[in-house]
Structures are given as C-alpha cells and as structure tokens.
Amino acid sequence: MIKAVVFDKDGVLLDSEAEYDRRRKVFFAEQGIDDSAFPDFYGSNNDEIWRTVEPVDEARRAELFENFIQRFKNEPMVYADYIYPEAEPALRAIRKAGYMTALASSSPHAYIDKFLAAAAFDALFDYVVSGEECARHKPFPDVYLNAFSALGVEPGEVIVVEDSPKGIAAAKAAGAYVIARKVPSFPDIDQTLADERITTLEGVLPRVLAL
C-alpha cells in the first residue's frame, strides 16, 4: 500500500536545470576554463561539479565556487519563473487524497528554502531534506532513505518522482517505485531505469488516486 509520494526538486517541480547550466557556462567562459571535456552535470550536486572543475587543489576549488556565487549574487534565481504550472495543483490533490509528501533534493538546504518561499510550497510537504544533510549524494540512496525514515514508511510504500539518471538510480536503490517526469529543456535525458515516465506531474495522479 502506498502511503507517501516523495519528490525531487529541480526538473521535477521546476524546469531549472537549463538555467543552472547556462550560468556555469558563462562563468567558465569568463574564467577561461575549458569545459569541453566536462561530463553532463544534470542532476549533480555542488561538490561533484566543483571537484570536476578543480580535482586537485582544494583551496582553488573553494575560491572558484565562491567566485561563482559572487558572480551571480545580483542575479538570484527567480524560482517562480521556472515552476511547472501543474506542480501546486498536483501536490494539493495528492495530499487531499491522504498521502504524505516529502521533498528530497541534492540542492543545498538554503536553495531549497528559497524555492519553497518563492513557490509558497512550505505547507505542501511533510518533510524536506537536502542531500547535503546525508553522508552520500545521489546516485546513492541516502537522501531517500532519510526521507522514508522521517515519514515512517517502508520503501515499498513510497512513490518517488524523479527526473535525472542519478536521482532515478538513488530512488531505485532505496527500494521505491520511481516515476520519471520528462523535462522539456532536456527531452533526451536517460530515464530508462524508472518504472514509468510521465509528461507532467498530473500523470502521477491516476496512479495514486486509483490506489
């Protein structure tokens, strides 16, 4: 019996990954950093990204990250511009049907809080957790196991809504049923590990409301 639906943030509730990618590319170009050999950072956490940029020199890595933050200090993410219009109605319908909801994201908690404030989604989640609060990031299952424990549910009692290959792998490793939301700005992203795919968050509703 499903008792909870747990959501990732970027790509699932808002189409923000393209903007993150744009900002990194702007910064790399301004710093003279050749990013041509960098992997796809979709769904990655800050530690993984900046270790790729500077794998050896920790002080230089920290300096680059701080410079990146300062570069866009006066251009904050306007999260409201990227939120999927169906996100709030879908969340409200799921909760009205009696399911618990949680947010489990790789983003730093400060970014999650800014998103929740911008979207006015604070009351729509029973629990919120950042990957930075866990020992290991996605694709390890830690952030999802944390959420399941906080909600008091078993993995088999949870549906996870994800988008990135790392996030899907993390949710599957945690033992959950995984629904992948297709991302308009990254239509070719590999979601083959998911149990099913949907075009919008409204696609979650038939599954949970039929249970």
Alpha helices in the chain (DSSP H): 17-31, 46-53, 58-71, 87-96, 109-119, 142-151, 165-173, 204-209
**Closest alpha carbon to 201 in 107, 124, 129, 113:** 124
Residues with Cβ within 8 Å of residue 151, at least 6 apart in sequence: 3, 4, 6, 100, 102, 126, 127, 158
- Spatial CA neighbour of 100 closest among 7, 175, 164: 7
* Cβ-contact 194, 25 below 8 angstroms: no
Contact call for residues 204 and 94 (beta carbons, < 8 A):
yes
Structure tokens given for 91: 């969340």
Q: Is 142 a catalytic residue?
A: no
Q: What is the 8-class DSSP label of residue 179?
A: E
Centre a 10 Å sphere on the Cβ of residue 37 and count the other Cβ atoms it contains.
6
Which of the following is catalytic: 8, 15, 142, 163?
8
- Report d(CA 54, CA 74) in Å as an integer: 25
Tell me if residue 57 is catalytic: no
Which active-site residues does the annotation give? 8, 10
